[in-house]
Structures are given as structure tokens and as C-alpha cells.
Structure 1
Amino acid sequence: MIETVRNAWKIPDLRKKLLFVIFALLVFRLGSAVPVPFVNGEVFANQMNAMSGTIFGLLGAMNGTAFSQATVFALGVQPYINSSIIVQLLTVAIPALERLQKEGGEEGRKKIAAITRYVTVAIAVLQGFGYYTLIKTAGASSGVSVLDTTGVPGWWAAIVIIVSFTAGSAFIMWLGEQITEFGIGNGISIILFAGILSRGPSMVRYMIVGVQNWANGVTTEGAFRLHPVGIVAILIGMLAMVVFIVFIQNAERRIPVQYAKRVVGRKMYGGQSSHLPLKVNMTGVMPIIFAQAIASLPATIGAFVPSSRTPGTGWYTFLQIFDTTSVFYIVVYFLLILGFSYFYSTMQFNPVEVANNLKKNGGFVPGFRPGKPTADFIQKVLGKITFFGAIYLSVIAIAPIVTGALVNNSSLAIGGTSVIIVVGVALETTKAMEAQMLMRHYKGFLE
């Protein structure tokens, strides 16, 4: 990857694209530090540390430090991602949108992109309102004021905060589109990549504090203590996880396809052999995100109930069952990842449609008749690789939870999701740079 970036930097055109990406990410990081009016970011960050096991911990991992500090870019790319998923599902469910996507051409794609933008703004407004409610509730439940509305009506402060969050999300969406058009790679993915990496310094500092607590013999309840050997083990585990993710991300099952010969005029076409690639992890990280959002729902609801923090109450006992380190939570999490992996793979890949397209183009899978037998065979292969991909996602997602339980650090429970996204975006961007260099016939790369 480093060699690819160095080769791309030598090409003036690609150097401009890389500089544009760097400038855009600089703007993103600056916006992530701009505070929203009427909100005390430091006090709210302390409140968010107690919610690391809830869905807010997941959102914080996806959006970086901006979410926990309630800055202008606190919502990050989540509204756009949610909008893209909703529009994608609606495209399958609504025939008009499906025709627009398949038969509309470039104009149809532009209309779907416009619909996605409008839905993004609507979702940003709803999430901004929910985020404002969270800020208000967090201050009321702790007795420490997070909102500073001195001399300003409460309704006006609410409007300003919600509009600020919505505008920040819309700007990030626009910035991601600019990176895609004038930079290299997918802009939204690169911004998500930068947001996750922004938490790196705080995690390093947290581990240093853990080692210092161990060296000083701190035994206070709730204090994080980490043996120096634990850091080495964590680093080796993360390196092994990265290697494993890279291997699976590039793995695919290739179904051989043979095209029949046909004579058109005086020329003969077809007869060549090809293959149909099926990626082992075609669902990406989406099953983990959906599964974690549902599995952490009880803890999220409990975060708004003050009695959930009192031992002996019903809410407290119920939330202990769904604690991120409990066996019950791990089993539910595992089953949800399996279910969403199969659900999302069916949304991404339609064996019947693929079999029909092969039949129309004179292609067939050796040993299977065109049509339904081919579709059944592809469905069988898809089920096998989906199961393996689901197991892979489950291992990546659960391994940090077990590690967090061993070192008494629940914030590691979201590490697997972050690593998959970071590695996936890095591989995707590297391939985009390689494609750009191949397109320009860069001899140094081809050699």
C-alpha cells in the first residue's frame, strides 16, 4: 500500500487528487472540533464515557471524537449511510425505483442520488432531535448541566442545536461527494475511515494510563489496569486480525462459466471460458452494525432510566444480562450477525437474475442446465460462502468483546467493527489508485 501511494504521488494528476483528499480530510477534522452552541462538550464527553456499551458507543466509534464532544460534525456520515441503506431496500421493494435504477441510465442514477440526499437531510433532522434529547437527558440525570441556555429560550436553543447537527451532516455528505468526484476512492468511506482513526490517540493514551495504574498498584474499583504484556498481546492480536481481514476481503469463490459458440454473419462469437466471482464477505460490515444496534438496544433504553444504575432494581438486573461481557449478549450477538448476513446477502445478490442473464448471453455453468438448475446451484454456493462469511464476521466482532472482558475494558467491544471498516477502506482506496495508474499506463507500476 505504501509503495502504491509513493508511485501515485509521482504522477502530477494523481498528486493533485491526493492533495485534494488531504485538504478535504483536514476540513473534516477542523469541523469535528467546532462546538455546537449552548452545549458544554467536556461535560457531555464525561457522560458519554459511561455509555460505551450502548448504541451510542457504536456511533461514537463510527463518527470519532466529534460524537462524544457534541461538535458540528457529531452525526458524521451515519445519516447518509442510513439513507443509502433505506433507498437500496426501497429499490428492491418499489418497482418504480427498481426500473429507475436498472433502465434509467445516468439520469436514473442522478434521480436516485437526489432522493438519497433528501432522505439524508430528513434522517439528519430526526437524529439531530434525538441527539439533542440525549444531551438534555444526560444533563438532567446526572445533575450536571450540559446545556448552557442562559438568557436564551429553551426552544430557540433546541432549534439552533438541531439545525447545526443537520447542517454539519449535510456538509459532510457534500464533502464526501466532492472527494469521490475530484479525489481518489469513495468519499464517504474515506471520511468514515478518518473518523475512526481519530480515536486512535485516545485509545493509546488510555492504554498508557492502564499501564501506569498497574505500575502504581492502583486498585480502585472501576480503574483500568493493564499489564505491559497485555499491550504486546493486544498489538499482536490486532496485527493478526488485520492479516485475517485482508485475506478474507480478497477471498472469492469463482464459478466457471462457459459461453456457447454462435455464428453472426461470417464471424464466430463466444466459446470462451470465464468465471462468476462471489466474494466470501459480500455483505461487508453491515451485519455487525445492525446486530450491534439491536443487541445494545436494552442498554440504550436503560441509559435514559436513572433507576438502571441502582443495584437491586429490576432494570439493573435486566441490563446485567445484556452487558457486553455477558455470555447471553455474546450468543445473541452471534445469532444476529448470522441472520443479518443471510438477509443482506439476499439483498445484494439474486441468483435467479444472474442465471437469467447468463442464459440470455449464451453462458452456462458446466454440468448444469441453463435456467432454474443454474440458479439453484448458484444459490447453494451462495449459502455456503455466506455461512463462512458470517462466521468470519462473528469471530471478528466477538474477539474484541472477549479481550475487553479479560482486560476489564468494555470499549474494546467495538474494535472489530472499526478494524474491518479501516482495512476495507484502505484496500478499496489502494485498488482505486492502482486502477488510476493502470489507466494512465504507468510503466513503473506495470513492471
Structure 2
Amino acid sequence: MSPLHATPVGLPARITEHARTSPGALAVYDGRHSLTYRQLILCVRQLAGILSASGVGPGNAVGLLMPHAVQTVVAQLAVWWAGGHYVPLDPDYPAAHTVAMIRETGTVLTVADPELLARCPAPMPGPVLELAELPLVPLAEELRDVPAGPPPYDPDTTAYVLYTSGPTGRPNGVALTSRGVELMAVAAPCSPLRAEDRILFHSSMAFDAAAFEVWAPLAHGATVVVCAGGRPAVEHLATEAVYLGVSVVFLTTSLFHHLARQDSALFMQVRTVVTSGDALSPLHARRVLRARPGLELVNVYGHTESSTFATAHRVRDEDCDAPPPIGLPLPGVGAHVLDDLLRQVPRGEAGELWLSGPRLALGYVERPELTAERFIRPAAGSGRAGAARADRLYRTGDLVSADADGVLRWMRRLDGQAPVQGHRIEPGKSSTRCTCIRGCSRR
């Protein structure tokens, strides 16, 4: 696992430091366009100045209706530089859903790609800034009044809001913190990321894994590799990965299974595959590992509410006699296997998994009752051994067990929801088609 940096400083400051120490290193690349770390910061400052002039300030939400492109990475970081937080808007969402997200989050501005904006069946509520391609070298005069550095770091500010089906079937906006996303990016669930690594950004921005695909490489001075022309079709994913020189990739469990059945060349290209979303098939995992013995295959478990990832386990051949475990908690996460009275259950026995620690989200936007239901603060002196170790707990709704070494195994959901390719879906509830990758059949 990646070592946890001792002092949180915020992702903008980390990326700025890479621009100072390695200005010519490649930060973002899509096969045609590229930005070094120095160019990235210059473009971010330029766009942050435009956002500030458009009324974006500390605490403001900014909608992002953007394609997979270099300028999308710039836009996300520029929102933070201006003091705001971003709300990804997926162009495949129903118009009513998008409008509700904008209004519920109090978005003051939507930054939109002109082509995607033209596809929207209804006008966007509120001000819209159309953003096509960015100049690679901003003019010096355009940066004159823009702060050279990011705003002061506040770990508890909202970094972005992601919408999830959640425990009610109704989309809920999850407010993730600056500290949570930094911990997720710095303490990656795989072996330490290196400056020469290239991590594929192919997930929808509205899917929580996209945060890993963008911020983990930038936190480590590595390269975000953006799929050229948008998310590739399933059959073209390996081709894109080879063409772009990808070394690390995140795959939903269903997509991993699909590529494993095809004996995809992707596994011969990359050194690390991180997979999450459903129970990992031991048959497919073993098939890939035996075909590619040197591959690092990491089975990850988490919720949007825990800043994407909470536990991780490197899968080896000997793990594949049964469903591979979901592993140990990542840095910044506490994992508690509790009974109905929030008491720790003995090792080997089943209990509900509750999470704690600084990766937890602030809660649900405009949903105080739901926040209070899912994020609880155990009463001091309650005598509940499991609960007493944490100031705040998040109820996952997952039944798990822990072995003698604390390694967790996922068993099933407790609330009737089905974990479908990373999304929690209630029986009888429909969901929009997955947009993690074109050609994926999951819903």
C-alpha cells in the first residue's frame, strides 16, 4: 500500500509542489494533447481567475458538464483553486435529474462543453460558462490578478459532491471532504505509485472511481491518461491502454470479469489492476493471475461515503479457492464488525460493517435525517466496545466477517439492496444505464 504522508496539505498544494520540483513532467495526456505540471498549474490559474470573476468563491458549488478531455482535469482543479467544490454532471443523466442536482447543491455556475450542452433537452438552470479547449500556454497578463498558489487548506471543506442511489433508492448527493479525497489519493490501494506511472481516466466523472483515476496520479507526480475521444467501448479498452502506455487501471468487477473471459491483452499491458463493485469471482481472478503471474490484482471495497475506497486486498492464486477477501482497512479508515447493539463481534463471526475515520463524507446534501441515520456518533460511555473506538460511524449495510488477522470477507447486503457493478440498487428500483464505459451492459 502507498505510504501515508505525515502532514495533510491538500491536493492543490501537492500538485503545485510537483510543478515546482518537476515542471517538465507529464501531468495529463490524451494521445493528442498534453500538459506538463507547469503548464497544468498555469492553465488552472487562468481558469480559476475566470471562475472567480464569474462569482465562484469559497463554499460555492460549480457544476461540470464536461467530456473526457485534458481541460476537464484543469476545470476540476481550477474550481478548488477558486475556493469552490465541483458537482459532476453526466450528459447521459435524465434532464430532470441534472436540474435537481444543480438546484439541490446550490450550484452558482455550470462549466459546460458546448457540444454536451447542445445535447441537453432542456436549458441549464443558472449561469453557464461554455468551455471548449484551453490554450496550453496562458498569456502572462491573464494571470496578473490570479493568486500564484491555491487557497489556504481547510481539510473539512467540501471537495466535490457525487450522487449515489444510496439507501433510499432516491439519488442522494454525498459531500466529500478535502481531507478525505487527499487521503484516498495519497494512500492508494495498490503498491506505491511512481512518477513514471500512467493511470487511465476512463470512468464517468459522476462515478466515484473517477476521483481515484485523476487525483491519485497527480498526488504522486504521475500522469493522468485520458481516454481520447471519451470513454472507449469495451472491446477497444485494451487497444487504448496499449496506445496510451497505461500502467495502472481501475475496472469495475463486472468489467474485470468480462475482460478475463476474453483473455484481454489489457492484462499484459498494465502492472496493476484495481477492481471493485461486486464480489470478485475466484475463477476469473485465478485465470488472469495464472496467465499474467506478475500482475498486481487488488480487490477493493468501499462506498462513495468513504471517499471511494475503504479496504483492499492484493489477490494471489491461493486466495482463489474461495471468493477473495476484501482485505484490511486503508489508511484513514477504521473498520468495525458490530452486532445490532454496536458491540464488536468475535473474530470469525458475522456482523455488520461500520466505517469510521477522516475519509468519511460530511453527509448527504439537504438530507439531515438521512445523514443522522447513516452517520452516527456513539454516545460516550455507552459501553459499546466497537462504537467507543470511533467518534463517528458510517453504516454500510454489508454483512462481513473478519479472520484472526482482521482480514475482512464480504458476505451479503443486509438491507435488501443489490450491489450492481459498484452501485447499490433496491429491489423494484430502476437505475440509469451505467456510463462507466461505452458498451458496458450493466444497469
Q: Say which one has the larger Rg.
A: 1
Q: TM-score, normalised by structure 2?
A: 0.25
Q: TM-score, normalised by structure 1?
A: 0.24
Structure with the bigger RCO (C-alpha within 8 Å, sep 6+) is 1
